[in-house]
A and B are shown apart, each in its own frame.
Chain A
């Protein structure tokens, strides 16, 4: 009776099943591979529907034949455990493998083989593939918008400096870890604001908005030392007073004069754009 069990491999007839199954699976993958990469149809002599489904059927039978609980072969066991647990899974795995093989050649040819990257004008793009030349020429515009080419190092430097300042926390010693919250909540945004707005735009460091920031930061830091009984009145009164004082009494013209970055050229915010603007917006919102 045991010999009749020809659909399930066991220890006795293991090798036969393994070889037959492997050959079937390899054959099915080979057929699809030839068909998709070299446009050769090995089984075109069969009727249409059958030749379309034959690789699937062959692979399915092959996977069924090599499905064994434990074989001792590492590769076979991992296949059986991961993609060949039952008929349904085997079918889906085959389908995914075939779809990947089928879709590789068009993607490859579009992205690499038929694509153009040489030259420096759009006219060289004659093929059916991607036109990387276009991307290459316009790369700066995609990254920086209308920002003047000569000044783009400012954006780069800002982002590098920000990334550097941001990663400092990872290398801080235990001793400084307790101050890191203060750094990330209060100081780092101010530095980031400074870099992104004033360094990139090249405008005055202080303007109307900065009074608000200074007032807020100063009053928050002092607020830690105010007894909780008075805290509410303190936070209602002090920041507003501070803001008004800063703006209208202490320094008005002075701060603006002081904060001007003389060496840097002023770049209108309208000229900002591209990916760098996306980063700036997502940083602050």
Chain B
């Protein structure tokens, strides 16, 4: 009886150990034969390649570790942009799909079915090769609102030039912290004495007043630097000043957010429809206004259905950002698992680092979302 339970498990364990042993032995023997050494010392070597777009300063004289950081930051950048826009579009479209308005409803449905049924790689190609290549050259570009330049070489936006930026950031952080305290205090007060404090207006006021004070008293000063056209050669123009968003970043972020937004929209729809109609009617019958029904009855119950599948979509988006390699956006896969791997030939080390990095990125997202999910879950007793 006992052996019947143990035998399959032992066999499985044996097979797993044998497979791992075989592969590591194989790798060891082959690496020895070809004279490849194993170690992470190469990370401090000079990288001697250049990256098109990086958030931190980088050129050929920096180390491979810094190349890794460049790739990691670029991956995080596109993931964060994608997650923010996917969430906004997804929530809007998800609610639009529930609209009574026939046109809005169908438009949202067409959007969802169109974008979720086309492979993501094709969408990235479409935005990069078809849509953004059709943009005008820098010298022919008409500015949008006078300061934004959408050209074939990228999107040029004005930049803020700050004096004493740290004081401004401190003031914003102080405003946020005080808002949190006020919220806690207001909730306690309402529970104990039943008195409501207008938290929203106080928060908005704080968020405006404290940074304003930092301008007036703290010596913070901001000016706008508008991109200006500059001639490089006979027919080559570019813009100087401001911030340049490369077309790779734009098309990747666009494709990722439009694609993932369709799934998030369906999650939102599922969540809102998952709250039974009787709940809304009961809430309305005890005299709550439509806004209160939404805020106090529908959303808390909808969120617990929305959050877990949306976490999946965030993870998908983060991992899908590795498709950046197809359009040469310098993300982790292209810079580190691509160029650095080609140059050093250290496949095992680099691939393991890259895999671990994606693993930790994904796990941190999922830990955060699980924490949030636990926080908003309805406490059932």
Chain A residues at the B interface, C-beta cutoff of 8 Å: 82-83, 85, 89, 92-93, 96-97, 232, 236
B286 at the A/B interface (Cβ < 8 Å)?
no
Residues A89 and B101 in contact, CB atoms below 8 Å apart: yes
Contact indicator B102/A83 (Cβ below 8 Å): yes
User: Contacts of B100 on A, CB cut-off 8 Å?
Assistant: 82, 85, 89
Q: Would you call B103 and A236 a contact (CB within 8 A)?
A: no
> Which chain A residues border B11 with CB–CB below 8 Å?
236
For A99, give the chain B residue with the smallest CB separation: B107
CA distance A85 to B103 in the complex (A): 12
Residues of chain A within 8 A (CB-CB) of B101 are 82-83, 85, 89, 92-93
**Residue B220, interface by CB 8 Å:** no
A232 to B103, Cβ gap below 8 A?
Answer: no
A82-B100, A89-B104, A236-B11 are known; give 9 further A-B pairs, CB within 8 A.
A82-B101, A83-B101, A85-B100, A85-B101, A89-B99, A92-B103, A93-B101, A232-B4, A236-B8
List residues of chain B with CB within 8 A of the CB of A232.
4, 7-8
A232 to B99, CA, bound (A): 55
The contact string, 1 if C-beta is below 8 Å from chain A, for chain B 87-108, is 0000000000001111110010
A131 to B11, CA, bound (A): 60
Pairs A–B under 8 Å by Cβ, sample size 9: A83-B101, A83-B102, A89-B100, A92-B103, A92-B104, A93-B101, A96-B104, A232-B8, A236-B11
CA distance A1 to B362 in the complex (A): 66
Inter-chain contact count A-B, CB under 8 Å? Answer: 28
Q: Which residues of A contact B99 (CB under 8 A)?
A: 89
Q: CB-CB < 8 A to A96: which residues of B? A: 103-104, 107
- Taking the closest CB of chain B, its distance from the CB of A88, in whole angstroms, is 9
Q: How far is the CA of A71 from the CA of B164 in the complex (A)?
A: 65
Q: Specify which of B100, B101, B104 lies most central, judged by the most chain A CB atoms within 10 Å of its CB.
A: B101
The CA-CA distance from A82 to B99 in the complex, in Å, is 10
Residues in chain B near residue A92, CB distance under 8 A? 101, 103-104
CB distance B104 to A93 under 8 Å? yes
Query: Are A97 and B8 in touch, CB under 8 angstroms?
Result: no
Smallest CB gap from A235: residue in B: B8
B5 to chain A minimum Cβ distance, whole angstroms, is 10
| Chain A positions within 8 Å of B107 at CB level | 96
B4, A97: Cβ atoms under 8 Å?
no
A85 to B100, CA, bound (A): 8
Given contacts A232-B4, A232-B8, A236-B11, contact A82 B104 (CB under 8 A): no
Complex alpha-carbon distance, A228 and B149, angstroms: 73
- Judging by beta carbons under 8 Å apart, are A93 and B103 in contact? yes
Q: Within 8 Å CB of B7, what residues of A? A: 232
Q: Which residues of the partner chain B approach A83 to less than 8 Å between Cβ atoms?
A: 101-103
In the complex, A85 Cα to B102 Cα: how many Å? 10
A232 to B11, CA, bound (A): 12
Name the residue of chain B whose CB is nearest to the CB of A85. B100
CB proximity of A244 to chain B, nearest CB, Å: 17
Q: Which of B8, B99, B103 has the most CB of A within 10 A?
A: B103
Q: Are B102 and A82 in contact (CB under 8 A)?
A: yes
Q: How far is the CA of A236 from the CA of B10 in the complex (A)?
A: 13
